[in-house]
């Protein structure tokens, strides 16, 4: 790696910062209880000896910098009270202050409104005018046009194209992103869709979800595509009662249900296989058996007293049916491989006899063999008359598994595509402002 | 496996060492007194076990113990029969445990803070109710609870065994116990699994409170007074018993046998120090060191497994 003509070896963010490379993180790495000025100078406080910090001098310098770049900030504001956009601006400000000559932005706008996005763009343009180099990572293609000169497209960790942006039209960019060969690892037949199981009408939760409307039928697997921040996980959480909805109706099996907590969602026959197994899916310190029966403990107990024999039977049944590789049903789930953990998380809902399954990124962090097993499980669920909604960031996966694909963008359901659609088509809806 | 048994082995070693070191140790009188002295912390520790398993903590148990002992003895003073007085003590404990649970789940405040608050509130109320004075007019037969013998062993030992079996049953054989483990191990996952987390959290504190109420009546019976100032600092001993016995303050771990061993280790250390003439000042330091040592060993075991 060459930097300003000389070979450099960067083994820490501090080393990179020392030669003038700074990164604006997607998730803010600021101290929320400190002021804007204090955050700007964090780690290199102005002041004298003995750790004395000259607050006044710091505030003055920060205020001057903010003024100079016309940032909509005040030096003495508390960072914790800023919007995500404000925090990003503080990070940018910090990079400028430290004299960085290359700024890396990682999906900076995924959590910003369009006005805030404009503000970030304006600052990026000012930086460019001041001869600061900018690497801007984004999934949103129109953002490239708005601020990019050169474009580099990566796929599966390899550079597939690099060159001036104006030489590429959007169609070509999408082609590069998708790649020609969509590796088919799995193929399934659709079932004829049965009765309506889940109907969502005008569901909204400000500001992340607006006017969501769709139907899931028994025996079908619907894919849910979209970019980071499009609201897919938020939709799952809202349906499952984790975050209450502001507007709209949810009908399960034709009956309207008011779901205000996961408890009510489970009672209504919903299941959510969460994106983050460790945090929300499993109690990793507890045995496989405990996790498996957690959502349906009543089925293996009578009058509040557990029937250990029944629990062991049930656990053994699911361990063999789902081919869960565990030393015993007493082994803590945390010691299983990612794929086997995921199978336990799914088995929990199978045992609960849920009818509508929401899978949020079910193949994250599991190996290809386990992936196919998860797909087969979903297929099996559909065959038995359940309805499945599958969120995935891997479009090829959706195309292999789903009967149809819902595409979200910025909190709205943009369109619904048949399973014969192409990755390009999906990306067009997911990544482009206006589809023409 | 050896490390898992370490607390139990330490107890045996300690017991044997004391038997060799002091001729007064292995006598019925001495062993009975160890049992009587540790029964109160043991029974509170059993309640603390399920609370800590659910990733909670109850700092107010010392105050609850005083309030229960006070109201129970006051009831007897006013002429209620002994059994009714004991029931008043138990219900007092149950009530305050329930209050703790409600505050923790409804206000969504950390258990440490809530029970730190109720520690002060309950103690203050006990002092107000009693005007700061102990209750003395108690029927003589009440001393049987803490000092009596049944079939040649202290009555409190039978009580302790009964409570231990009950708590073990709750933890290993009921939905409530299973949910306590689930909530303690990963509260988020428990909520996502549809478990009624608030209800069971409250139940856990209520049970802990009731056991503390029983401990309060035993304490009152041993002293034959209802002291509004009883039980100060007991919460830390109860927590220490759970922790020495392998309970984790991160929740999801703990057992009845562990807590009993923890409480008896502390009891034997203090009894042995008395017998061997170790200064009571040093005793405290020794017990403190044992707490750290026990947890350090347990951490080491877990790290090796991970």
Per DSSP, A78 falls in state: B
> Is the model's pLDDT at B217 over the cut of 60?
yes
pLDDT at residue A229 in the model? 78
Task: Give the gap in angstroms from C-alpha A99 to the nearest C-alpha of chain B.
Answer: 43
Where is pLDDT greater, at B267 or A434? B267
pLDDT at A112 over 80: no
Question: Cβ contact (<8 Å) for B173 and A285?
Answer: no
Q: What's the rounded mean pLDDT across residues A265-271?
A: 94
> How far B101 CA sits from the closest chain A CA (Å)?
19
pLDDT value at residue A367: 77
Q: Which of B183, B193, B252, B304 to mutate to test the interface with A (most CBs of A within 10 A)?
A: B193
CATH topology of domain A196-431: Rossmann fold (3.40.50)
Which band of pLDDT confidence, cut at 50, 70 and 90, is reported for residue A28? low
Q: Inform me whether the pLDDT recorded for B196 exceeds 90.
A: yes
What's the pLDDT score for residue B2?
57
* Bigger pLDDT: A215 vs A181: A215
Give pLDDT tens digits for B175-190: 999 999 999 999 999 9
Helix (H, G, I), strand (E, B) or coil at A227: coil
Contact in structure between A50 and A94 (CB atoms under 8 Å): no
Q: How far, in whole angstroms, is CA B208 from its chain's centroid?
A: 8
The pLDDT tens digits of the residues spanning B48-68 come to 999 999 999 999 999 999 999
Q: CATH 3.40.50.300 residue ranges in chain A?
A: 2-137, 196-431
Residues 364-383 of A with CB under 8 A from B: none
pLDDT single digits (tens) A154-179: 876 788 888 888 888 777 887 777 76
Q: Tell me the mean pLDDT in the region B204-228.
A: 96
Q: Write out pLDDT tens, residues B123-159.
A: 999 999 999 999 998 998 898 988 888 998 899 999 9
- Residue A198 pLDDT > 80, yes or no? yes
Please tell me which residue, A119 or A112, carries the higher pLDDT value.
A119
Residue A179's pLDDT is 66
How sure is the predictor about A110, in pLDDT bands with cuts at 50, 70 and 90?
A: low
Residues 6+ apart with CB under 8 A from B108: none
Taking the C-alpha atoms of residue B301 and residue B181, their distance in angstroms, rounded to an integer, is 20
Which chain A residues are within 8 Å of B174, Cβ to Cβ? 301, 304-306
Q: Which residues, at least 6 apart from A339, have a Cβ–Cβ distance to it below 8 Å?
A: A366, A367, A369, A370, A371, A373, A374
- The per-residue pLDDT for B75 is 95
Q: Which of A42-46, B89-93, B145-149 has the lowest mean pLDDT?
A: A42-46
Q: Tell me, what's the pLDDT at A221?
A: 93
CB contact under 8 A, A294 and B195: yes
Predicted confidence at residue A12, as pLDDT, reads 81
Alpha carbon of B170: minimum distance to chain A alpha carbons (Å): 8
Residue A420 has pLDDT above 70, yes or no: yes
Sign of CA dihedral A384, A386, A391, A395: positive
Across the range A98-108, mean pLDDT stands at: 82
Q: Do B188 and A279 count as a contact with CB atoms less than 8 A apart? A: yes
Taking 90 as the threshold, does the pLDDT of residue B195 lie above it? yes
Assign B283 a pLDDT band (cuts: 50, 70, 90). confident
Full-model pTM: 0.82
ipTM: 0.87
Kindly report which listed range (A87-101, A190-204, B204-218) carries the lowest average pLDDT score. A87-101
Residue B170 has pLDDT above 90, yes or no: yes
Checking if the pLDDT of B105 tops 90, the result is: yes
Longest CA–CA span in chain A (Å) reads 76
User: Which residue has better confidence, A364 or B44?
Assistant: B44
Q: Give me the pLDDT at residue A137, please.
A: 85
For residues A104 and A109, the model is more confident at A104
pLDDT for A436: 47
Q: What is the pLDDT of residue A45?
A: 61
Q: Residue A274: its chain B contacts at CB < 8 A?
A: 192
**CB A281 to CB B192 under 8 A?**
yes
Quote the pLDDT of residue B128.
Answer: 96
Identify the CATH number of the domain defined by range A2-137: 3.40.50.300
Mean pLDDT score of chain A, rounded to an integer? Answer: 85
- Whether residues B194 and A298 touch (CB distance < 8 A) is answered with no
Helix (H, G, I), strand (E, B) or coil at B136: coil
Please, what are the domains in chain B? 6-305 (1.10.3470)
Instruction: Please report which confidence band the pLDDT of residue A182 belongs to, taking 50, 70 and 90 as the band edges.
Output: very low
Q: Does B37 touch chain A (CB under 8 A)?
A: no
Instruction: Give dist(CA A272, CA A6) in Å, integer.
Output: 52
What share of chain A in percent tops pLDDT 90? 32
Higher pLDDT, A365 or B277: B277
Q: What is the mean pLDDT of residues A413-425?
A: 87
Strand ranges of the sheet holding A412-418, from the earlier edge strand across to the other edge? A270-273, A356-360, A387-391, A221-225, A404-409, A412-418
CA distance A271 to A261: 12
- pLDDT beyond 60 at A47: no
User: pLDDT above 70 covers what percent of chain A?
Assistant: 93
Cα gap B147→B154, rounded to integer Å:
7
A376 vs B215: which has the higher pLDDT: B215
């Amino acid at each position: 790696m060459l930097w300003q003509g000389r070979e450099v070896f960067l083994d820490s963010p501090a080393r990179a910062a020392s030669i003038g490379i700074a990164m604006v993180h997607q998730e803010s790495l600021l101290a929320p209880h400190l002021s804007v000025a204090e955050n700007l100078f964090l780690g290199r406080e102005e002041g004298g000896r003995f750790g004395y910090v000259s607050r006044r001098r710091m505030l003055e310098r920060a205020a001057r910098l903010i003024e100079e770049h016309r940032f909509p900030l005040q030096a003495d504001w508390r960072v914790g009270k800023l919007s995500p956009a404000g925090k990003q601006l503080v990070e940018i400000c910090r990079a400028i202050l430290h004299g960085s000559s290359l700024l890396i932005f990682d999906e900076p706008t995924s959590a910003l409104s369009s006005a805030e996005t404009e503000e970030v763009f304006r600052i990026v343009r000012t930086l460019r005018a001041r001869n600061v180099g900018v690497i801007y990572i984004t999934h949103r293609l129109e953002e490239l046009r708005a601020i990019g000169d050169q474009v580099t497209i990566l796929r599966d960790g390899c550079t597939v194209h690099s060159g001036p942006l104006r030489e590429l039209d959007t169609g070509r960019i999408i082609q590069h992103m998708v790649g020609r060969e969509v590796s088919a690892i799995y193929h399934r037949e659709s079932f004829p869709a049965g009765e309506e199981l889940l109907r969502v009408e005008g569901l909204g939760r400000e500001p992340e979800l607006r006017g969501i409307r769709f139907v899931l039928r028994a025996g079908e697997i619907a894919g849910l595509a979209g970019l980071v921040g499009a609201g897919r996980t938020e939709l799952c959480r809202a349906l499952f009662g984790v975050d209450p909805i502001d507007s709209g109706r949810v009908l399960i099996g034709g009956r309207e249900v008011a779901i205000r907590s996961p408890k009510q969602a489970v009672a209504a026959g919903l299941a959510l296989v969460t994106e983050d197994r460790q945090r929300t899916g499993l109690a990793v310190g507890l045995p496989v058996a405990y996790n498996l029966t957690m959502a349906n403990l009543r089925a293996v107990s009578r009058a509040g007293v557990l029937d250990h024999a029944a629990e062991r039977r049930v656990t053994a049944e699911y361990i063999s049916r789902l081919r869960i590789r565990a030393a015993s049903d007493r082994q803590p789930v945390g010691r299983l491989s990612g794929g086997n953990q995921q199978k336990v998380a799914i088995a929990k809902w199978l045992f609960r006899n849920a009818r509508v399954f929401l899978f949020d990124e079910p193949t994250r962090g599991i190996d290809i063999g386990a992936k196919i097993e998860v797909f087969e499980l979903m297929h099996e669920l559909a065959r038995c008359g359940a309805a499945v909604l599958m969120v995935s960031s891997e479009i090829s996966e959706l195309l292999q598994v789903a009967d149809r694909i819902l595409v979200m963008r910025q909190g709205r359901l943009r369109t619904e595509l048949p399973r014969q659609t192409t990755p390009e088509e999906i990306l067009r809806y997911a990544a482009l402002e206006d589809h023409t | 496996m050896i490390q898992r048994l370490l607390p139990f082995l330490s107890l045996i070693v300690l017991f044997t060492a004391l038997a060799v070191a002091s001729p007064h140790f292995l006598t019925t009188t001495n062993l009975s007194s160890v049992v009587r002295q540790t029964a109160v912390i043991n029974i509170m520790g059993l309640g603390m076990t399920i609370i800590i398993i659910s990733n909670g903590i109850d700092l107010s148990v010392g105050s609850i113990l005083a309030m229960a002992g006070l109201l129970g003895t006051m009831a007897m003073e006013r002429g209620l029969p002994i059994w009714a007085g004991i029931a008043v003590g138990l219900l007092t404990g149950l009530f305050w445990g329930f209050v703790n649970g409600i505050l923790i789940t409804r206000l969504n405040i950390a258990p440490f803070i809530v029970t730190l608050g109720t520690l002060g509130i309950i103690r203050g109320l006990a002092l107000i109710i009693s005007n700061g004075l102990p209750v003395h007019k108690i029927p003589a037969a009440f001393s049987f609870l803490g000092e009596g013998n049944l079939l040649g062993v202290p009555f409190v030992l039978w009580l302790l065994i009964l409570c231990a079996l009950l708590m073990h049953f709750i933890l290993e054989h009921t939905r409530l116990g299973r949910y306590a483990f689930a909530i303690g191990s990963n509260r988020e996952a428990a909520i996502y699994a549809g478990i009624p987390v608030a209800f069971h959290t409250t139940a856990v504190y209520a049970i802990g409170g009731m056991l503390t109420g029983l401990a309060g009546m035993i304490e009152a019976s041993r002293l034959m007074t209802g002291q509004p100032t009883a039980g100060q600092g007991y919460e830390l001993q109860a927590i220490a018993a759970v922790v020495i016995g392998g309970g984790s303050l991160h929740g999801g771990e703990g057992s009845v046998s562990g807590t009993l061993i923890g409480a008896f280790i502390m009891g034997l250390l203090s009894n042995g120090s008395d017998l061997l003439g170790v200064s009571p000042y040093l005793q405290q330091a020794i017990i403190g060191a044992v707490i750290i040592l026990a947890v350090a060993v347990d951490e080491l075991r877990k790290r090796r497994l991970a």
